[in-house]
Amino acid sequence: MTQDYDEFGLFEENAAEAGLPWTGPPAVRRESVEIGPAQQVSALVWGEGRPELVFLHGGAQNAHTWDTVALALRRPLLAVDLPGHGRSGWRADRDYWPARNAEAVAAVIGRLAPDALAVIGMSLGGLTAIRLAARYPDLVRRLVVVDVTPGVTRAKSAPITEFVQGPETFGSFGELLERTVAYNPSRSVTSLRRGLLHNARPLPDDRWTWRYDRLRPPGGQLDFTGLWPDLAAVRAPVMLVRGSESGVVTEEDVQEFSTRQPGGRVETIAGAGHSVQGDRPVQLAQLIEAFAPRP
């Protein structure tokens, strides 16, 4: 019943699917931060206290990708919609890459979560977090990078890119769900439907489209190797979390990560693909809790 969508009405379903106890709806609200003329970034604020953790989603996702992780953590936190994603504004220049993202996220953290203990970023959000930690060290006290390194290439991320760069509109929600299920055979239909309700929207003609601007790599190439020096410049403790079933982070990438961050921690979550937060949210929450414990 997509016409009855309530973005804050699906949390009980998240909890049930992950086997988490349900004690009633969590306190979650939307905040918006103006980061420039006619530019705003939206975020979800979980809990009543000052956010202890900041979460950055991957490309073509949105802040709700972290819902089950947030329910498992039960801590005050901030989940940001990156520019061009979710409820955040779109950029006229369509520059949704780490350097510009980091500038926007820095403004949001400075306003909504200046005392956060850690920043957690997945995929494009992880690359953004690396840049953020290098350029705004006062805002990143600990860094968790989920299933990505600056060594990611189009070849390594081919299945993900193929899905994301598919059709921009669909004849119905059912058509959109069918394609998503085909590309995510290991995920439950329930979880994929929930994710689509957060990440797509109906058009006036009853067709459906994504709730993000299309990502267009400069020159058509994915090249983030310039972020390796940024990773080396990070002085905060760093943890890299891989999905065992993902090919985005190779052993060579892990070796380079360890060279750039000799004291960095590397963890692999069994049974998880690239979207670790969707495949194994409770296990990811446990790693985050151990790495950035409550004050």
Does position 2 have pLDDT exceeding 60, yes or no?
no
pLDDT recorded at residue 1: 40
Q: Is 123 a catalytic residue?
A: yes
Mean pLDDT lowest among 90-99, 123-132, 159-168, 251-260: 159-168
Helix axes 11-18, 189-199, angle to 10 degrees: 150
Mean pLDDT on 282-289:
98
Which residue in the list 147, 230, 253, 279 is annotated as catalytic?
147
Which residue in the list 88, 123, 157, 191 is annotated as catalytic?
123
Does position 4 have pLDDT exceeding 80, yes or no?
no
Instruction: For residue 97, give the nearest of 122, 54, 128, 129 by alpha carbon.
Output: 128
Mean pLDDT on 25-30:
98
Does position 194 have pLDDT exceeding 70, yes or no?
yes
pLDDT recorded at residue 220: 65
pLDDT recorded at residue 48: 93
Look at residue 252 and give its three-state secondary structure. helix
Quickly state the pLDDT bin for 165 (edges 50, 70, 90): confident
Give tens-digit pLDDT for 84-125: 999 999 999 999 999 999 999 999 999 999 999 999 999 999
pLDDT recorded at residue 3: 53
Quickly state the pLDDT bin for 164 (edges 50, 70, 90): confident
Q: Is 274 a catalytic residue?
A: yes
Task: Provide the CATH topology of domain 2-154+224-291.
Answer: Rossmann fold (3.40.50)
Helix (H) or strand (E) holding 56, with range, is strand 53-56
Does position 266 have pLDDT exceeding 50, yes or no?
yes
Which stretch, 142-151, 158-167, 207-216, has highest mean pLDDT? Answer: 142-151
Percent above pLDDT 90 for the chain = 87
Instruction: For residue 75, give the nearest of 55, 53, 57, 108 by alpha carbon.
Output: 53
Does position 254 have pLDDT exceeding 60, yes or no?
yes
Mean pLDDT on 188-214:
96
Mean pLDDT on 10-21:
98
In the block, tokens 């979207």 appear at: 275
pLDDT recorded at residue 219: 67
Q: In this structure, what DSSP letter does residue 217 have?
A: -
Contact present, 112 and 45 (Cβ < 8 Å): yes
Mean pLDDT score across all residues of the chain: 95
Which residue in the list 64, 274, 275, 279 is annotated as catalytic?
274
Give tens-digit pLDDT for 45-80: 999 999 999 999 999 999 999 999 999 999 999 999
Look at residue 81 and give its three-state secondary structure. coil
Query: What is the C-alpha separation between 118 and 37, in angstroms, rounded?
Result: 29
